[in-house]
Chain A
Amino acid sequence: MADITAPAYRIIPIIPALIPDAMAGKGPYVANDKINEAIGFPGQLVEDWHDRAIAKMGELLSKYRSLKVFMDACVHCGACSDKCHYFIGTQDPKNMPVARQDLMRSVYRRYFTLPGKWFPKLVGARDLTREVLDEWHNYFYQCSECRRCSVFCPYGIDTAEVTMAAREILDSVGYGQKYSNEIIGKVHKIGNNLGLPGPALIDTLEGLEEDVKEATGIDVRFPIDVKGAEVLLITPSADFFAEPHIDSLIGYAKVFHATGTSWTLSSMSSEAGNFGMFIGNYDQLRKIAMRIRQAALELGVKRIVVGECGHAWRVAYSFWNTLTGVGDGADANDKFAQMLQKQLDHRYKQPMHICEFTWDMIEDERLSFDKSLNDKHIITFHDSCNVARGSRMGNLPGGQFEIPRNIIKAVANNFVEMSPNTTHERTFCCGGGGGLLTDDLLELRVKGALPRMEVLQQAVDEHGVNFMATICAICKAQFTKIMPIYGFDRRMVGGVHQLVSNAIILGDKK
Chain B
Amino acid sequence: MNLMIAILFYLATLFFVVGLFHRIRVYASTPAPLKIPTTPAPTTTGGVVLRMTREVVFFESLFKANLWTWAMGWMFHAGMALVLMRHLRYFTEPVWGWVVLIQPFGIYAGIAMLIGLCGLWTRRLFVERIRYISTPSDHLMLLLLIGIVSSGLLMQFFVHTDVIAVKNYFQGLLNFNIQPLPVDITLALHLLSVVMLLVIFPISKLLHAPGVFFSPTRNQTDNPRENRHLSTWAAKLESEK
Contact = CB atoms under 8 A, between A and B. Distances in A.
In the complex they form, whether A and B have CB atoms below 8 Å apart is answered with yes
Interface of A: 15, 17-18, 61-66, 68-70, 72-83, 93, 96, 98-99, 102, 113-115, 121-124, 147, 150-158, 161, 282-283, 286, 317-319, 321-322, 325, 327-331, 334, 336-337, 349-351, 388-392, 396-398, 400-401, 425
A122 B137 contact: yes
A18 B128 contact: yes
B36 A161 contact: yes
B225 A155 contact: no
A17 B128 contact: yes
Interface string B64-88: 1110010001000000000000000
Contacts of B35: 318-319, 322
Contacts of A350: 225
Nearest to A97: B133
Contact of B133 (A96, A392, A400): A96
B224 A390 contact: no
B205 A154 contact: no
Contact of B129 (A81, A121, A318): A81
B226 A329 contact: yes
Nearest to B62: A154
A81 B133 contact: yes
A99 B211 contact: no
A389 B38 contact: yes
Interface of B: 23, 26-27, 30-36, 38-43, 55, 59, 61-62, 64-66, 69, 73, 120, 123-124, 127-130, 132-138, 140, 203-205, 207-208, 211-212, 214-218, 222, 224-230, 233-234, 237-238
Contact of A392 (B26, B39, B208): B39
Nearest to A390: B39
Contacts of A161: 36
> 4 tightest CB-CB pairs across the interface, nearest first?
A73-B211, A124-B135, A152-B65, A79-B65
16 contacts: A18-B132, A73-B208, A73-B212, A74-B208, A114-B203, A122-B136, A124-B136, A152-B64, A154-B65, A282-B33, A329-B227, A350-B225, A351-B225, A390-B36, A392-B222, A397-B43
A154 B27 CA distance: 18
A400 B65 contact: no
A69 B215 contact: yes
Contact of A15 (B62, B129, B135, B211): B129
A337 B208 contact: no
Given A66-B216, A69-B215, A77-B120, 6 more contacts: A18-B129, A63-B33, A74-B208, A157-B215, A425-B38, A425-B40
Contact of B224 (A77, A81, A318): A318
A236 B110 CA distance: 57
Contacts of B222: 392, 397
Contact of A66 (B66, B217, B230): B217
B205 A74 contact: yes
Contacts of B69: 77-79
A388 B234 contact: no
A397 B42 contact: yes
A350 B216 CA distance: 23
B34 A153 contact: no
B62 A392 contact: no
A321 B61 contact: no
